[in-house]
Amino acid sequence: MSRPGITYQEVANAAIQLQGQNENPTVDRVREILETGSKSTIARYLKEWKLKAAHVAGSEGISQELVSIVRGLWERLKTEADQKITQHQHETNCIINEARQAFIQEQKRNTDLQTRIHQLEEQLHQEKNLSAILHQSLEEEKRSIAKLAERNDQLSQQRTDQKSEIERLHKLLAHVQANLEHYQESIQKLREEQALSAEKQKAAYDHENSYLKQEIASIMELKNHLQKNADQLQIELKLINDQNDALIAEKNLYFQQLQEIIIHQTVLQNQYDQLNKSCLDHQQTITENDAIVIEFEKQLAVLTDQLRNSKKSFQDAQDTIRILRDEKLYLTQEKAHVEGQFKQLQTTL
């Protein structure tokens, strides 16, 4: 798509700008300012502008050089003011953008800190629940240990009773053995004293001896059975003691874990306090940045008012020039009217 050609107004503005810079408006210099346009078109518009400028200067009685200087000065002042305003607005916008970026980063960092605090609160809540569960398990283990201790006492009492029973059986056995020896001695005496009646009573004594042997065998069997029971009770007691030691070790482990959880909970609480303090510091920084942004906005408002006042001053200057031109035209017309009346008066005289 081709670029549209230059206009007369663009050439006129460039020529006025060159005059304001105390330079002669030529085709090449005008083209340097416009950076486009053919030399023939620029020359045609420049010639038209010079003719109009000469006509205005001749009609108003103001020198062309003065008009060109005033117009060039006005254009230069307007250009410099626009450049300064644009530069200041750009710098202000950069500062405001930097402050806004810092504010956004602080907000993001504050959000991350809030998320981290929430996570730490959840973790602390979980640790508290785990601590409560461990306390409950510890109480149950204490109750179990108490039951095992009670069972141990019962087994110890049973073992003591069994030992007493075994001792009673040992005494009974000793008594039976003593009776047996006494019977054997009696039998020997009866054999010596009653040799003739020994055969008759032999069967009775043998029967009684068999009965006593059976009783001794029963007593020995009962003794062995009680000994086995005592061994079994000894094994069970050892097993209970081992279980008791294991429960005590597990209890110590639970106490150690509980102590570690309490320490970890304390560390988490310290981290939570530090994060709260950091969050308050960042909120204070954000408040300070807000104050800076508000201050920049106030400065921007002041500069905007100054720009508005400058434009108003330029407008007042243009109005003053226009009023002076109108007054000069009016005076020129009055002068021409007076000269005409004077010539008529001379003709009449």
* Angle at the Cα of 170 from the Cα atoms of 166 and 173, rounded to 5 degrees: 135
pLDDT tens by residue, 241-262: 888 788 888 878 877 887 887 8
Mean pLDDT of the chain: 80
Whether pLDDT at 45 is above 70? yes
Residue 28: what pLDDT? 92
CA atoms of 42 and 8, how far apart (whole Å): 8
pLDDT tens by residue, 120-129: 888 888 888 8
Are 41 and 22 contacting, i.e. CB atoms less than 8 angstroms apart?
Answer: no
Rounded to an integer, the average pLDDT of 141-153 is 82
* Angle at the Cα of 11 from the Cα atoms of 7 and 15, rounded to 5 degrees: 165
* Angle at the Cα of 254 from the Cα atoms of 249 and 260, rounded to 5 degrees: 125
Q: Furthest-apart CA pair in the chain: how many Å?
A: 224
Residue 132: what pLDDT? 85
pLDDT tens by residue, 272-294: 888 888 878 878 888 888 888 78
Structure tokens at 17: 């700008």
Residue with tokens 């998320």: 115
Residue 56: what pLDDT? 61
Percent share of the chain, pLDDT over 90: 7
Whether pLDDT at 18 is above 50? yes
Residue 63: what pLDDT? 53
DSSP assignment of 243-282, as one string?
HHHHHHHHHHHHHHHHHHHHHHHHHHHHHHHHHHHHHHHH
Question: Could you tell me which of 321, 150, 336, 325 has the C-alpha nearest to residue 240?
Answer: 150
Are 29 and 13 contacting, i.e. CB atoms less than 8 angstroms apart?
Answer: no
Q: Which helix (H) or strand (E) holds 195?
A: none
Are 148 and 247 contacting, i.e. CB atoms less than 8 angstroms apart?
Answer: yes
Residue 57: what pLDDT? 54
CA atoms of 249 and 215, how far apart (whole Å): 50
Question: Could you tell me which of 208, 158, 159 has the C-alpha nearest to residue 184?
Answer: 208
Residue 60: what pLDDT? 47
